[in-house]
Structure 1
Amino acid sequence: MSNIKLIIEERPNIVGNFMVGRLLPFKDKRMVGPFAFIDHMGPIALHDYENFDVPPHPHIGLSTLTYLFEGSIMHKDSLGSEVEIKPGEVNWMTAGNGIVHSERTPEYLRHSEKSLHGLQIWVALPKNLEQMPPNFYHASDHEIPHWIENGVAFKLIAGQAFGRKSPVPVYSPLYLLELKSDKKQTISIGNDLFGESALYILEGSVESEGNVYEPKQILIANDTKLCAFTMHENTTVYIFGGDAFAEPRTIYWNFVASTPELIEDAKKRWLEQTFEKVPGETEFVPLPPQTNLNLKK
């Protein structure tokens, strides 16, 4: 019996003026553990007259995780945080009962050619913490646990695994791992994972039970305890997952919540512009006419 329960292909989606690859949510798999949303940005080549600009927009009920492979993004939020995100760093913003942020090309890069490539991820908060005060955390590359085992380079971006813990302040049991290998070899990590688990192929290829899988695919595991696969030469994968919540989540625009009432309250607050503002930002993104999407297992 195959241990691959589902294969999700990256689908094109427009964010701002740029095309990204949408991975989660998917019609047959809305969440993997607490992970509710994953976009693969790029690689995008930007001319000297093009910039990445996502104006101030709100979030509730989740933590956002931005992880870049190339390029740079300036993060600003309504807490007053102002941090440049560079490759290998972890930008972790917890919305709780409400936060607003913008994401833009830094000023010093706005008139030069540049590139942008990375992952943007939403992790839903557990029900008892959905209304917590918002907070922000940024980790430099050297703060994130790195190690090499049997020639494979591991990085624990968030959560706990392999007896290690990332400094990123997560709010439920989860893990997000980067694995890189420059030679073909078999990986068996089932004893170090828990809950629901999935593998995203960024580059190279992965072989499992005689089948070869290529980039821009997520492989959902049937049983985390049976997680074994072969990484081909020059392959990078991201393994993520954790304990699933008992209650389903609803996603509307940038809001994630366990009840429709929290979504409606956030919509009302955004329309009335009572969310805290991002210092120095004046743009307003209208509430989109979008149907709620239930996020179930």
Structure 2
Amino acid sequence: MANNKLLVNERQADLGQFMVGRLLPFRKKRQVGPFTFIDHMGPAVLGDGKYMDVDQHPHIGLSTLTYLFKGEIEHRDSIGSVKLITPGDVGFMTAGHGVTHTERTPQFRRTSDTFEMHGYQIWVALPKDREAIDPNFQFFDKTQLPEWKDGDLTIKLVAGNAFGKSSPLQGYSQLFMVDIYAEKETTLDLANQLKGEVAFVIVEGEITEKDHKVEAGQMLISKTDEQCSICLDSGTRLLLFGGLPLEDEHYLLWNFVSSSKEKLQEAKVRWQNKAFPKVPNDDTYIPIPEPRRK
């Protein structure tokens, strides 16, 4: 592996009936551009009594981006948003000064039939001057996102700006997220196509970087920003994340992100005191995990 790249392997986490693979943050790299947290959901077979049920929990100082390849998630939040997110759609909830939400398998899927669930949830840290904005929820149908062919590649611009195109989802800082599928073995050259730091998340298949194979479930982070190229094997799907780093250092405490450690502690106390707004007609509550004892 070239010394201008970082290779990250998923760390599995068990969320009750659902396994999640965590890619970011990790010890050597806390953020890529403004992206501060990447969870890989599945692939998993759900149904027949096994469903996704993430109870009410809070956020501050970030936007959550939900992007699916298979299955559906019903999003509900304390703003009053209720939205079904299906493969190719994007749900983008901005927490600002504070929001709560739930993520569940929709009711119509709760039968004896089984189905596949596979996707990603990503956290994007807000710039310091936007951390305390009012919460909001944006939804973009798959048909609203730019998608095009480039040789043997199918490219979809999920968020931000890349390859000379702009997504309707812009977020609050200079960023990009791109979904790329290679029908045949081909080379992807990113020179002058993106701006900022870039991470490659291998969803399916594998890529080759300087004779080193990077497989599904791994993430490759370039230390030289966007000036790089990779070879994609036939049938490979990957996600590109990144952008310009935020000016101020950001910190992470459970589901909270902020440039201020004091605000993280304040949010913790607010949640413990049940002072956050609630999702309508939902009394569930996820407590803050106790720190691990060494």
Q: TM-score, normalised by structure 1?
A: 0.94
What is the SS of the residue equivalent to 1:261?
Answer: helix
Measured in 2, the distance between the counterparts of 1:238 and 1:168 equals 16
Supply the distance in 2 between the matched residues of 1:157 and 1:211 (Cα, whole angstroms).
28
What is the root-mean-square deviation of aligned Cα atoms in Å?
Answer: 1.4
**1:95 and 1:133 in contact (8 A); partners too:** yes
Match of 1:28 in 2: 28
- For 1:212 and 1:253, the matched residues in 2 are separated by 33
Q: Name the residue aligned to 2:99.
A: 99
SS in 1 for 2:179: strand
Instruction: For 1:33-44, list aligned pairs within 5 A.
Output: 33-44=33-44
The one-letter code of the counterpart of 1:142 is T
Conserved? CA contact 1:75–1:103, under 8 Å: yes
SS at match of 2:267: helix
Q: Which moved more, 1:264-273 or 1:132-141?
A: 264-273
Deviations 1:141-200 (A, max 9, x none): 000110111221000001111221111140000000011111011111221112111111
- Whether the aligned pair in 2 keeps the contact of 1:3 and 1:223 (CA below 8 Å) is no
Partner-residue secondary structure (3-state), 1:190: coil
1:83-106 CA-partner distances (Å, limit 9, x unpaired): 011000001000000000000110
Give the length in aligned residue pairs: 291
Q: C-alpha displacement at 1:50, in angstroms? A: 1.3
Equivalent in the alignment of 1:128? 129
Which amino acid is the alignment partner of residue 164 of structure 1? K
Q: Does 1:80 align with 2:72?
A: no
Mapping 1:192-231, distance limit 5 Å: 192-231=193-232
2: CA distance, partners of 1:86 / 1:259: 35
Q: State how 1:119-158 maps to structure 2 within 5 Å.
A: 119-158=120-159
The match for 1:59 is 59
CA drift of 1:13 comes to 1.1
Distance 1:176 1:94 in 2: 17
Shift of 1:288: 1.8
Closer, same or farther: CA 34–16 of 1 in aligned 2, 3 Å: farther
2:240 equivalent in structure 1 = 239
> 2:47 touches 2:109 (CA, 8 Å); kept in 1?
no
Letter paired with 1:103: E
Check 1:144–1:241 CA distance in 2 against 1; reply closer, same or farther (3 A cut).
same
Q: Contact (CA 8 Å) 1:48, 1:114: kept in 2 or not?
A: no
Provide the rounded CA distance (Å) in 1 between the counterparts of 2:16 and 2:99: 19
Q: 1:247 Cα shift?
A: 2.1
The one-character-per-residue Cα deviations of 1:196-230 (angstroms, maximum 9, x if unpaired) are 11111111111111222211111111213421111
Name the counterpart of 1:288.
289
CA drift of 1:265 comes to 1.4
Structure 1 contact 154–177 (Cα < 8 Å) conserved: yes
Per the alignment, in what secondary structure is the counterpart of residue 224 of structure 1? Answer: coil
Give yes or no for contact 2:72–2:106 (8 Å, CA) kept in 1.
yes
- Whether the 8 Å CA contact 1:16–1:53 is kept in 2: the answer is no
Which portions of structure 1, spanning 4 or more consecutive aligned residues, are displaced by more than 4 angstroms?
none
CA drift at 1:3: 6.8
Tell me the distance in 2 between the aligned counterparts of 1:283 and 1:225.
Answer: 43
2:16 & 2:172 partners in 1: Cα distance?
29
Q: Distance in 2 between matches of 1:169 and 1:206?
A: 28
What amino acid is the match of 1:165? S
Structure 2: stretches of 5+ with no match in the other structure: none
Indicate conservation of the 8 Å contact 1:3/1:227, yes or no. no
Task: With the length of structure 2 as denominator, give the TM-score of the two structures.
Answer: 0.95
Name the CA distance, whole Å, in 2 between partners of 1:225 and 1:109.
Answer: 41
Q: CA deviation at 1:287?
A: 2.1
Instruction: After superposition, give the CA deviation of every residue in 1:40-96 in whole Å (9 maximum; x if it has no partner).
Output: 110111231111100110000000001011001100000100001100000100000
In structure 1, runs of 5+ residues without a counterpart are 292-297
Percentage of pairs with the same residue: 45
